[in-house]
Structure formats: structure tokens, C-alpha cells
Structure 1
Amino acid sequence: MDVYEAIRKRRDVRSWFSGKHIENEVLSRILDAGNRAPSVGLSQPWNFIIIRDVETRKKIKSIVEAKRGEFYESLPDGKREKFRNIKIEGVLESDLNICVTCDSTRKGPDILGRATIPETSEYSVVLSIENMWLAARAEGIGMGWISFFDPEDIKPVLKIPENIKIIAYLAVGYLNEDHDIPELEEKGWEKRIPVSNLVYENFWGNSTGQYLEKALENYAFQWK
């Protein structure tokens, strides 16, 4: 598939993992895609921890489930019922997990662009994750970004040094279902905002010309 189709079909998945094994050659292509992402000053601040060990994943799952319970209790009654039916992780169901980290000191202090905006190290890692996500989708593999945890709880489980920041914990595996819309939209939790509602021209709050607005609406319609 081309890049636009991969973007359109990309899903943040927690369900529908088939259990099929990801071959090392395929995994290598996905990881290489992540390593080819743009990074501030070519610093490549990312590392990828591949987690296959079941006992390690069980520890991660228990951390995630505890945070899910806390979030559930914080919700108003109307949202609790919706959230009850939403799966927030696929730690054990997926073939493997990947923890993606950021080392903001990599390649020393003289990194072009990082001195003015230090957060660009973390932004670079996020770009790497998106590259992996699209590559995975092109391979027919699903990926889910799991965020129901305190990173400091996971660090000792994965033996991550104190100065290294966790950016993402991903569940990765082949899927036995393909869905046209995001799971959160299917479950009635949230809806996607059209791109035409999110674009300004020249300054904040100023709407685009009618021709660009129409073009945005028409292109979005083609993807439905």
C-alpha cells in the first residue's frame, strides 16, 4: 500500500490480535523504519526494547490494570459504562511489546536545534514511533500505544536507567480483523474532527479561503 493508504488504515489497536508470530525479517523492517525517522540534529535519541517474555509482560499488565481501575473510579457515571466496554491494552494478546525510550543526551550537548527547544528530542522519538506504526500497517500488523501506567513503575521492570525517558509502550501483532474506523469511535467514546475545522490561514483563528476549505472537505470525503 502507498503511504496515504497506510495513514488512512492505521489504527491504534488493543483488540483483534491473531497470535500469529512476527518473523524477525519483518520486525527488522519496522524497526529500521523507526530508525530512519527525522531527529533533531541527527541525534537519534531513541532505543527500542523488544519484550517477548511472558512473565515480564504479566508484570506490565498488572501495572496497566491498576491504572485502569483508578481512571474508571475517576469517571462520572455516564462515562463509566462506556469505558467499561473499551479495551485499553493488548499486552499479552499481542505477539510482542516494544518500549520506546528517549535519551536526550545522546551525541553530546552540541546538537543542532536542541539547545533552543529541548523537547525536540522527545518529538523525534514520537516521529520514530509514527514511522514504525505506518510500516507495521503496511506489513498487515497492528500496533497499540498503551499509556495507562506511571513510567516510573515500568522502569525497574525493564531495567531502564534513571536518565532515560519512556515515550511509548506498544503492543504489536498481526490482526484477525480490519476495522474502517477507530475503536474509540465504534464504542461511542469520541469522534474524529474534520481537518477543515482545524486549519487556519496566516494567523490563529483566521479561516482558510473557501477553495482550500472545499478541497479539504472533498479529499476527506474520498477517504470515507
Structure 2
Amino acid sequence: MSQNTVKGYSDADKAAIQRVIAERRDMRHFTSDPVDTDVLQRIFTAAHHAPSVGLMQPWRFMRITDSALREQIAGLVEEERQQTADQLGERKNDFLKLKVEGIRDSGELVVAALPDGREKHVFGRRTLPEMDLASLSCAIQNMWLVARSEGIGMGWVSLFDPDKLAQLLRMPEGSKPVAVLCIGHVPEFYQQPMLVQENWAEERPLDEFLFENYWPQSTDQTNDKT
């Protein structure tokens, strides 16, 4: 084996990797400028390079290029936004003030989904069938990081009824939409996660989530403080 195959990256490369991870943001504000075709291809290629359990590659991506269909998706998201607000009690009005999607604004709209027939993939999923979702999530994270490195914003929208969206997109039985991804140019990237900037939630430090050997007996540090 060549020594180069096990050698780490340069300090500059490592710094760039850490920077793009730290500066990735879940974006909600976009301009309507189109995304360059080559850039979009690199984003999808990054998704396809993601790890997957049993090499099942359970990712499917649908570009939404029909404006009427995009508007229908926006309608489904708005419907769920209102229902989510109704479940938030005293925080309802604060939630409704948040911009939770950029579906009508982003240059590209993509639906990320799991395919039908996933039950035949047993390798790595016999006791953890949700590993197909974990694999798709890795693909989406790859997209996010490459998009950020290209100066392109991406937002993951999960406020929708998956059955209604699957029906709208004529997806086969057994498949499942997981994310509506808004991808496009942005006026600027948020300095902090948007929910932090909007005083909706606070980030918590790593040491609250890092355990050794056993789960801590006290649950105080894992309680939801938001």
C-alpha cells in the first residue's frame, strides 16, 4: 500500500473541512437566481458518494421544475405549519413568525425520498431497519456541505404530511418522501443557526452529549431545555 493512501490531509485542507462544517446553515432566505448546472451536478454527486448500509444506496432525488407542482408542495407545507403551530401552545405565535421554508424563493427545489422495496435489503438492517433513513441523511448532509463550499444555501423542510406528498408526486407504494430541499443563492449566510438568531432555541455544548462507557444515571443533562 502506498504511503499516500493512508496519509492525512494538509493543514489547509483540514481547516477547510472544519470551516465548511462549522459554517453550514439550514437556510430559509433565498434569491431566485438559478443554480449553475455544473454546481448542481457536484451537489448531487456528493450525495451519491455518501455511505450506505449494505451499499443499498437508498436515496432518490426529484427535481421539482414545474412551477404549479412547486406551489402545491408549498401548500402542503403551509398546511402542516399551521397544524404544528396549533400543537405549540403558548409558543404558537412565536412559531408563526418564523420563516420555516423558502420553497417559493429558492432557485432549485428537490424532494429527497426513500424508494420502495427497501425490505429486501437485510444487510445491516435486520435489527435496525431505520438505517435506510440514516443513509439518506448522510447523503443530504453531503449535499449541504458541498453546497456551502460552493456558496450555495440549502434548507431542509420537514413540515409536510409524507403520505400527501407521496401521492402528489405519484410515488410508488412503500416509498417515502423525507425532505423537501430548498437549494439556491442566498443574500448572506446566517452567522448562527437561524433558530438561535430568532431566539427560538439555544445551542448546547458538546460535553452535554458526550458520555463514556455507560449512559449517565442522572437525566438532568439530557433534558430538553428549549
The aligned residue for residue 88 of structure 1 is 100
Contiguous gaps of at least 5 residues in structure 2: 1-14, 219-226
CA distance in 2, matches of 1:110, 1:67: 32
Q: CA RMSD in A?
A: 1.8
The aligned residue for residue 217 of structure 1 is none
1:148 CA displacement: 1.2
Aligned pairs for 1:69-148 (under 5 A) are 69-77=82-90, 79-103=91-115, 105=117, 109=120, 111-148=122-159
Secondary structure class of the residue paired with 1:166: strand
Divergent runs of 4+, >6 A = none
The aligned residue for residue 19 of structure 1 is 32
2:52 is aligned, of 19, 33, 39, to 39
The aligned residue for residue 220 of structure 1 is none
Q: Does 1:154 align with 2:168?
A: no
Contiguous gaps of at least 5 residues in structure 1: 208-224
Letter in 2 for 1:144: G
Letter in 2 for 1:70: Q
- May I ask how many residue pairs the two structures share in their alignment? 204
Contact 2:195 2:201 (C-alpha < 8 Å) held by counterparts: yes
1:166 CA displacement: 1.3
Letter in 2 for 1:178: F
Q: Does 1:8 align with 2:22?
A: yes
Contact 2:163 2:176 (C-alpha < 8 Å) held by counterparts: no
Contact 1:200 1:206 (C-alpha < 8 Å) held by counterparts: no
* Percentage of identical aligned residues: 37
Secondary structure class of the residue paired with 1:2: helix
* Residue deviations 1:146-195 (CA, integer Å, cap 9, x gap): 11110111112211111111121111111111221011111110011110
Distance verdict in 2 for CA 1:170–1:114, change over 3 Å: same
Letter in 1 for 2:54: G
Distance verdict in 2 for CA 1:152–1:109, change over 3 Å: closer
The aligned residue for residue 203 of structure 2 is 192
* Residue deviations 1:114-152 (CA, integer Å, cap 9, x gap): 223211111111111111111111111111111111011
Contact 1:184 1:190 (C-alpha < 8 Å) held by counterparts: yes
Letter in 2 for 1:179: Y
What is the TM-score of this pair, normalised by structure 2? Answer: 0.85
CA distance in 1, matches of 2:207, 2:48: 32
